[in-house]
Chains A and B, each alone.
Chain A
Amino acid sequence: MTVFPFIVVAWILLVGLYGMVTSRHLVHQIICLIVVQSSTYVLLLGVGYVTGAVAPYYFDVPNHTPAVDPVVQALALTDVVVEAAVTALLLSFAIQAHKRFGTLDPHELAELKG
């Protein structure tokens, strides 16, 4: 249990990269990129976890109860929302590529020369 979350992180990274490399459609590639990004969220939260601690909100628990690390949660929180917008930017590139070249296959896109 002390290393299992990190093995899952490595697995998700590997699976996402495999999907990106063997993909035949740009939107499928972008979805595999989303999966790779999600492995970093799991890693961030896994690093800051303290066994037996509560969430770092002292609204209903007494002050100074042991809590998990709040800094990695702040990082992961802004991460999730910002990378959704960056994914939208990537998708708009894919839409324009489809308009110009008519295809979304990365192998064919690599061979077109303007």
Chain B
Amino acid sequence: MTEVQRRWMFLAGAAGLVAFVLWGLLGLPGFGNYPGPYGPSILRIAVAQTNATGVVSAVNFAYRGFDTVGEEFILFTAAAGVSTVLRHLRHERERSAVDEAADRDVPPTSSAVRMTALVFAGPVMVAGWWLASHAQTNPSGGFQGGVVLATAFILVYLAGEFLVFKRFSPVDLTEVVEAVGAGGFAAVGVAAVAMSLPYLTDYLGLGSIPGAVSSSGTIALISFFVGLEVAAAFILIVGEMLEQTLLIRQEDSE
């Protein structure tokens, strides 16, 4: 089948798909007229029940915490998959990081990039921790905070070399932190079961001030674990791809 025939077949199929999609979407009650009972009923009771002023994080970690456990394990599996797929094949060898760095003839990174990355690495890490620990008050939470934390490590790579990045985040430590994050989230739920409550019930006492950091019980704890896990997963993924790009060579191309 030639290229042009393929395109025409796609256009015919896409026309049918778009017709059905538009038929479905135009049957919705319009943009801005959300009628559904689930949203307003959660908004009515969320602040009083969980003492968290960030209702989205309360939904994520308290009302629909079970879905979030599933999503976090998807992330865990994807990071494990990247580590597995990018393993050393039999006919490859990994050059040691030291002699690879010595005889590369790439132009050195410009000073402006290194200075900026160095200056921002610290504040970005502080921002990431702040985001990961304030899930219940502001638009923040474990997922965003974890990605921002991983960005701080990428800045370290930009400011220095791959060796420095490796020294800051050795693979074993990163994998342990990721496992602690994923397991910690599941363990918080299992601890509730051990107290003969339903899985992931909020068993830590609610504080008195709605919106304070320590006031919403298990939401802050779960958000902390999620932040650890997401940060470690992204650092692992970027580290694996960096290693592939910089270190691993084929035997026969040397």
Check whether chain A touches chain B (CB < 8 angstroms): yes
Q: Which residues of B contact A82 (CB under 8 A)?
A: 71, 74-75, 78
B205 CB-CB contact with A under 8 Å: no
A-B contact count (CB 8 A): 163
Q: A48-B39, A64-B44 are known contacts. Are A85 and B211 too (CB-CB below 8 A)?
A: no
Q: Which residues of A contact B147 (CB under 8 A)?
A: 81
Can you name the residue of chain A whose Cβ is closest to the Cβ of B92? A99
Interface string of A78-100 (1 = CB under 8 A from B): 11111011101101110110010
B86 CB-CB contact with A under 8 Å: yes
Q: Please count how many residues in chain B sit with their CB below 8 Å of the partner chain's CB atoms.
A: 63
In-complex Cβ contact of B21 among A10, A63, A80, A99 (8 A): A10
CB pair A95 B64 closer than 8 Å? no
Q: Which residues of B contact A68 (CB under 8 A)?
A: 34, 39
Q: How far is the CB of B78 from chain A (nearest CB, A)?
A: 4
Q: Apart from A50-B34, A67-B55, A92-B240, list 20 A-B contacts with CB within 8 A.
A: A2-B32, A2-B33, A4-B31, A10-B18, A50-B33, A58-B210, A59-B53, A59-B138, A69-B36, A73-B56, A75-B67, A78-B68, A82-B78, A84-B234, A85-B234, A85-B237, A88-B78, A88-B237, A89-B85, A95-B241
